[in-house]
Amino acid sequence: MNNILKKSTKAFARELKKEFVLCISILIATILVNAIVVVLRTDENHYIMLIINIITDIFAGVFVLAKVTGSFLPKHRKYKLFSKKTQTLVGKIDSVSGETLRYMHFDCHEVRVDNRVLFLPADTLELKVGCKYKMSIVSNIIIEVAE
């Protein structure tokens, strides 16, 4: 079976864990830099230490925010679909829309299967019109496909 994660759920979970650990490590490193700056601050280097403190906070915050919102959360949402109860559907693909639309936080293609509307997350799987597939579905989202 091909799934929307494009790899096994265990490998995907390891990848998510690595991203999470990276974000936590960056935050801890920033706290340590802030502590060092506070300890080394004197009246002569007050402004330099303040600038170093602000710059490290900004870079760490922007990195973690970008990583979490741009990479971690979308992947985590896809991964959470596999923990929910699935339905199995065997059917012939009538049509696959070329445009993407937003459905449950995912950019999806609308797929019509035997007069039923389902959604396939964009850039995950390719389905051929007219072919018969066995699909695992969660909340009208196709998560796994087998021919």
Class of CATH domain 87-146: mainly beta
Dihedral sign, Cα of residue 66, residue 69, residue 71, residue 73: positive
Q: What angle do CA 144, 82, 13 make, to 5 degrees?
A: 110
Give the predicted TM-score (pTM) of the model.
Answer: 0.73
Do residues 133 and 93 make contact, with C-beta atoms less than 8 angstroms apart? yes
Domain ranges of the chain: 2-81, 87-146
Task: Report pLDDT digits (tens) over 47-94.
Answer: 898 899 999 999 999 999 999 888 888 888 888 888 888 899 999 999
Q: What angle do CA 74, 75, 79 make, to 5 degrees?
A: 120
Any idea which residue has 């066995």 for tokens?
A: 134
Backbone angles phi, psi at 84, to 5 degrees: -95, 165
Average pLDDT value over all residues in the chain: 90
